[in-house]
Amino acid sequence: MCPNFSLFKISMILGYGVNGDGNEALELFKEMENRGVIMGTTVFLAILTACSHCGLVEEGIRFYETMIKYYGLSPNANHVACIVSLLGRAGKLMEAEEFIMVSGFKSNHLVWHTLFQACWLNRDKERSVKAGERLIELEPLNASSYIILYNIYMSMRKFSLAMKTRGLMRERGAVREMGFSWIETSGPVIVFTDGSNNSLPPQYNSIYMKVHKLLLDMKEKSKDSESQIWEMEFHTNNKRDGNSVKFHGELLAACIGLMDLPSFTPIRIVKNQRVCNDGHEVLKLLSHSENREILVKEPTRLHRFNLGKCSCGEFW
């Protein structure tokens, strides 16, 4: 069997998986088995990743057990993280934590980071705190962990612990990576920076106000609107000074696309970081209210927002 065949199929399994087409990923894996391809840890990592992104819990557990019992392969931290992600995305947080403790990787920062993200997505604050505190000890220079933990403490009104977390972040020299979003319309590429004082020109005010209203509506319906990874500040006045807008870069880019691109053209955005929950929800709302297809390419997958839904199926 040509080595390139295996590499191609592994790439295809990953591609289908991270873009939400789990059935195709499963079919490709089955094809490799039927052709007698030698199964290694890499192909199992690919199929476990696909199962995780597509919410295929039973299939993922079965593949993990098959890898160990039938093929005699030893899992590494990446395989364990995939199972933690798989269980976490399905809301099985207790099972995910228990799995870490018996996996042999309970001191690995990757598996705890995966659990931390899952707890955050599921709004399990108590377990998020436990995972976050463990993580900042294992990975003291990862700024995102401190930021999420800080916001969790603030939402729980544990202000002293929040301040302590912020102090630890500064003391240890953890620096947050800047997030950027790009969009190209009829002119040059426009770049937006997450969390900075980006301001839309006055001609885009109507779209900005529409996004602003959608966000307010979303926050009113949310049971946990105080807990956010990135701070959002909205101003209903029309001032265009440096403090008038603090917004997510991908949402500002979407505003530009709505105004500058023809109605039949999809809005294509590139982002260097994972789309957060709030941005994801607002982009779904925008795609529905504006009847527009919005594509956001992030480091690990492509999100296709259309008619209020995303191609990721809420697994990303």
pLDDT of residue 225: 45
In a domain, 287, yes or no: yes
Give per-residue pLDDT as tens, 214-243: 667 666 655 444 434 334 333 333 333 333
The verdict on residue 94 lying in a domain is no
275 Cβ contact list (under 8 Å, min separation 6): 250, 283, 296, 298, 303, 316
- DSSP symbol at 299: S
DSSP 94: H
Q: How many residues does the chain have?
A: 316
- Over residues 246-288, the pLDDT tens digits come to 467 888 888 888 888 998 899 999 999 888 777 888 888 889 8
Contact predicate 83/60, CB 8 Å: yes
Burial state string for 84-107 with b = 16 or more CB within 10 A and e = fewer than 16: bbbbbbbebbebbbebbeebebee
- For residue 304, what are the domain limits? 180-310
Tell me, yes or no, whether 83 lies in a domain: no
pTM (two decimals): 0.70
* 62 within a domain of the structure (yes/no): no
The pLDDT of 86-112, averaged and rounded, is: 93
Does 268 fall in a domain?
Answer: yes
The predicted-structure confidence for 26-73, as pLDDT tens digits, reads as follows 999 998 888 888 788 999 999 999 998 888 999 999 999 999 999 999
**Residue 150 within any structural domain of the chain:** no
Indicate whether 206 belongs to any domain: yes
Return mean pLDDT, the chain: 82
Query: Considering its fold, how many domains does the chain have in total?
Result: 1
275 within a domain of the structure (yes/no): yes
